[in-house]
Amino acid sequence: MIRMNFVRNHVLVCAGTGCVAAKSKEIMDEFQLQLEKQGLTDEVKVILTGCFGLCALGPIVVVYPEGAFYSELKVEDIATIVEEHILKGRVVKGLLYHETVQEGSDTISGLNETSFYKKQVRVSLRNCGVIDPENIDEYIAYDGYEALAKCLTEMTPEAVIDEILKSGLRGRGGGGFPTGLKWQFAAREKSDIKYICCNADEGDPGAFMDRSVLEGDPHNIIESMAIAGYAIGASQGYIYVRAEYPIAVERMNIAIAQAKEYGFLGQNIFGTGFNFDLEVRLGAGAFVCGEETALMMSIEGNRGEPNPRPPFPAVKGLFGKPTVLNNVETFTNITWILLHGAEAFAAMGTEKSKGTKVFALGGNITNTGLVEVPMGITLREIVDEIGGGVPNGKAFKAAQTGGPSGGCIPCELLDIPIDYDSLISIGSMMGSGGLIVMDEDSCMVDIAKFFLDFTVEESCGKCTPCRIGTKRMLDILEKISEGHGTMEDICALEELSAHIKENSLCGLGQTAPNPVASTLAHFRDEYEAHVLEKRCPAGVCKNLLQYFIIPEKCVGCTLCKRVCPTDAIVGEVKQVHEIIQEKCIKCDACREACKKFNAIVKR
């Protein structure tokens, strides 16, 4: 048989962190093996790509040109796909993402028609799940490095900054400061050396959008940082990424090497005389290093602790030089704005918040994953439509945005349009984009305690309000959840919240009370139930719970007695059993064991 050099199928295997954990590497190897077996290796290209966003259904594989979206694959499914789909051309419907299959029809609907993707607008994540992140040519195919070429050859630095200003882009790392202004301040400083930093120290529990961009579209960050360098007059950049993201670090380093080889980093880029170089710096996983002044301390080789501002980094930043520090997601928008124009960007979103925002959707939600939506969409649309609602028939209770710096948003506020200002007005914040959904079984005191526990651990200890104040708040929360709380404790929590917010040195401390303050504002009745009635309405706080056997339902099967680890259950065969409260450790094992009769309840 004559072999010809053509490719008729592209198999895109998701290599985002979620899918890699779900064995997508093995799936890729199996594809190669099966393709070899069928003699199809010359006709089919298997490509590792970045996150598709629908992490709950990983590992994910998309086969083009059909655009068949296979989800939840197992290694043993691959032989079927290769034989049926790739060799014989019959899409294996049983393995497709169920929403793309239409009953009684042979056509598969596109991904963009599924409820998960329908309302999404992909700007920041536009290349994730589309290109091979380890191949610079694929990035170039999707207009990569064109924005840099355009800036260097057709635009003055002032014009670049103007364009970013006009777009209305605001920092995606949490604070929401206008990016163009930040650049303008740094550009106006007179200095022979300036720096560009990329904040990839994504530390919020449950947030993984920056990680996905670094893993799925690393060249986008390189290009945008070079553009920022041109705009403010910097020739050196640093990407500060946490060492816990090994795939991201590896792909970033590959991308930097490729960009250097092509001359998109280094001396005399595109023959214009502009020089820019980039290095990766690894963080050791301290949450406070996501704060800009602490991050720069860490790059300099010092202990990662924040410094008072002013002076702001734009004036006196890294190594004492004017520095622009932007978050990963902010940078991903830069290339898009310069390719499509500030007007197109400003056309998306609300009056004060332009463009899109990526959220890492997690918690009690059907479609766990990464979603990118236009600003101004309501939380209800994200949770119910894109997220597919709360699973297992449970009721929605609250959504938590902004991680340890944010707050809990109750059901009645789900219809507010999401932007920077509206979230702050209800006591939460955009943060970096973690979005955790909680169902009726979540206790708000417990949630507040969880986040406070995190900030107490991560507080660097430099300033007193944060170091001692958060610890005292945590102590009070523990007291309440153990059933020893008083109404004075609730007042003390409110007072401490206000103090810590006003007096802490950096963003970590200033926002640390938000989880407590917002749950107190929206779920005060739950705190009061813990304090006044010594009761945890959601049934989470163990000290406030008791397990009982309902005598009418107990048949005396002895199952509960056998699973109890502390011998807290007494009773003979075929006689009603009883729980000795003093011995019970509330492990829930007996209730689980009694699912058949439901004779054991907690209250």
Q: Which residues bind other proteins (CB under 8 A)?
A: 1-2, 4, 6-10, 12, 43, 64-67, 87-90, 110, 130-131, 137-138, 140-146, 149, 153, 261-264, 266, 268-271
Determine how β-strand 396-401 pairs with β-strand 434-439: antiparallel
Give how far the C-alpha of residue 327 lies from the chain's centroid of Cα atoms, to the nearest Å: 13
For the residues of 271-300, what is the DSSP string, one character each?
A: TTTEEEEEEEEEE-S-GGGGSHHHHHHHHT
At 108, list the tokens: 């598969």
Closer by beta carbon to other proteins, 150 or else 501: 150
Closer by beta carbon to other proteins, 110 or else 551: 110
| Minimal distance, residue 112 CB to other proteins, in Å | 10
Q: How far apart are CA 323 and CA 240, in angstroms?
A: 14
Closer by beta carbon to other proteins, 140 or else 492: 140
Those residues whose C-beta lies under 8 Å from the C-beta of residue 230, and which sit 6 or more positions away, are 148, 151, 152, 157, 160, 274, 276
Burial (Cβ within 10 Å: 0-12, 13-18, ≥19) of residue 262: middle
Question: CB-hemisphere CA count at 13 Å for 120?
Answer: 24
At 181, list the tokens: 């202004």
Q: How far apart are CA 150 and CA 173, in angstroms?
A: 27
Alpha helices in 482-599 (DSSP H): 487-503, 507-511, 514-522, 524-532, 559-563, 589-593
Q: Name the strand (E) or helix (H) holding 25.
A: helix 24-37
Closer by beta carbon to other proteins, 145 or else 523: 145
| Minimal distance, residue 137 CB to other proteins, in Å | 5
Query: Dihedral of the CA atoms 421, 422, 425, 427 (nearest 10)?
Result: -100
DSSP 543: G
| Minimal distance, residue 144 CB to other proteins, in Å | 8
| Minimal distance, residue 418 CB to other proteins, in Å | 30
| Minimal distance, residue 256 CB to other proteins, in Å | 15
| Minimal distance, residue 6 CB to other proteins, in Å | 5
| Minimal distance, residue 67 CB to other proteins, in Å | 6
DSSP 123: S
Closer by beta carbon to other proteins, 8 or else 37: 8
**195 neighbors 240 (Cβ within 8 angstroms):** no
| Minimal distance, residue 145 CB to other proteins, in Å | 6
Closer by beta carbon to other proteins, 109 or else 378: 109
Closer by beta carbon to other proteins, 127 or else 367: 127
Closer by beta carbon to other proteins, 268 or else 464: 268
| Minimal distance, residue 88 CB to other proteins, in Å | 5
Closer by beta carbon to other proteins, 177 or else 262: 262
